[in-house]
Structure 1
Amino acid sequence: MKTVGIIGGSGFIGSYTTKKFLEEGYNVKVSVTDIKKSEKYQHLFNLENSDNLNISALKVEDLEILKDFISDCEIVIHGGTPFQLDVKDPQTELFDPTIKGTENFLEAIQQAPMIENVVFIASVAAYNTNFPLPAGDKKPHDTFSEKDTPFMSEESHPYAQAKFLANQTVEKFITNHPVLPFEITSVSPVGVMGKSLSNREDSTSTGLQFLFKNKIAPNPFVQMLYDTNAEMASVDVADVAEAVFKAATTSGLHGKNYLLSSESYPVSDMSLMLNHQAPKNNASVIYENTLAMNDLGMKFRPVQETLNNYSK
């Protein structure tokens, strides 16, 4: 039985990733930032094969604890960066844990004796910090693929900038270390939607669906999405977990970063679908998913199915 360490394995995407690896018969170690807040990870013990689950405390800024956490893992998934839209201090809340955490993680994996595969759960922001708005000079319906030049703007949301810089850190590491005893693969999901496995109320992804469903705008960023009726590319959270598993267990993918996307709809249509009404527009595929379908064998769920599942 191989061991997988999942940093951030109790979050929205992380819980589905933990579920997938447990179902596939892995010994799963999950890190949480605060072991005292059991309400944030207790739901994982309701999963199939949870006898093979171990929870431990970890902050990615602490290098020694990080080294210890991954020391007996053949696979390591890094999905432990914060996803916050309401931010008071971007440096301490986003940039430090995201970028410094990534740097620490890259240092730690070099000293881990058993690692075979590493997967970073990045973000579409690694390719376009303006998401869900178009990158640079592109128009709203222009397509974007892994072959496009990544776009970053310092006017983008700090979360997106932090994810972009973290991905640049990973790419630089791969370039500077042409011979490694393990493979590194990244996945970059667009807007991740679906039903949470927990009752946590601090998930940005599920919170965004709640806002769209009820047409609430608590901050300028969400208000902008309504004002522009932004074309929102979405992907099912279970599909993201499936892609992470495939990336971690398929050899020959070193250095690749896969866009994970199903369809795109205007935000107004997402509000309709979250209320079990039919969209007024046809779906489009703005963020191309061909590479993930070909290399990882992915089949992405339709967005309408995903949004209906959220509000069952």
Structure 2
Amino acid sequence: MTDRPDAAAASARLIALDPALMARQFPAEPFAYRHALAAEPLLQLGALAALAGRLPRDRLEYNSGRLKVDQKPEETPTVDLEPTEIVRQIETAGAWMVLKNVETIPEYGRLIHRVLDEAARAAGHADHRAAGMKEPMGFIFVSSAHSVTPFHLDYEENFFVHLHGDKAMHVFDNRDRSVIDEEGLESFPGKHRNHRYRDAFAARETVFSFKAGEGMFLPYTWPHWVETGADWSISMAITWKSAADLRLNKLYFANAVLRRLGMPQPAPGKVPALDSAKVALYDIARLPLEPLRRGEAMRRALRGLLFGRSANYFYGSKA
């Protein structure tokens, strides 16, 4: 990694962000930093096993860690363990697991807000709300040694913190359409996050390597894949979206749906009036669904009804 602040700088704060570095690169470019979260009690294995037992089932996803960078979703091997046991046995389970939306648990929500408030202040704002950091979320990754997270991209901004073991993230510029084309950016709930990877992409990657106490900022939709080292691993993605990100998410969704109907669309920004119409229609269509999405059973039913059984792919590994 490059541009690492001195380790002592992290001692007084949860996350050590250099205001000068933030001014140069945030939020357009990735950069590395140090943090003080590796010793946080909420992020130790015992606490995470308990957390796995508190979260709704569709907030837990797990499978074998022995995956390819270019993994076909339908060929992903599973792990025949309950979520709490995967966490407890992660040293020998040969597994990869993510605990999603941990911000819904109050103590984790407070921790996420503290980190984002510190990041906002480093960028010259009073707190994360003043900085326009919307929809704060947390995703905690627990992985066995030599696990791979296949090539994909995420639709949020990410303050990534590594907590235990070694990990490497292979990152690609999201402006390079030879890596992810416009259709690849389009997203809907029935579309798996994995993308096709070609060996030729390696010439375009930047590799960020992490030990406990190190992290990086990963911007919106920057493609990446991840591998762990010779020890089990814990990491956390502390995410948020800007107003621009939220608007693009709506457009990528609308364009994906229209493409499935045989009507491929111009990229966002090419026809502003058309973009505005799509966003307005998205908001109208989404409004009556929001109250229904608060319960796990209804979320699962809605995904299956609207997007097919494949939209509930994360239930496939349930023992």
* Fold conserved between structures, TM > 0.5: no
TM bin, normalised by shorter chain, reads: under 0.3
TM-score, normalised with respect to structure 2: 0.24
The two structures have a TM-score, normalised by structure 1, of 0.24
Larger relative contact order (C-alpha < 8 A, sep ≥ 6)?
2
Greater gyration radius: 2
Structure with more of its chain in strand, by fraction: 2
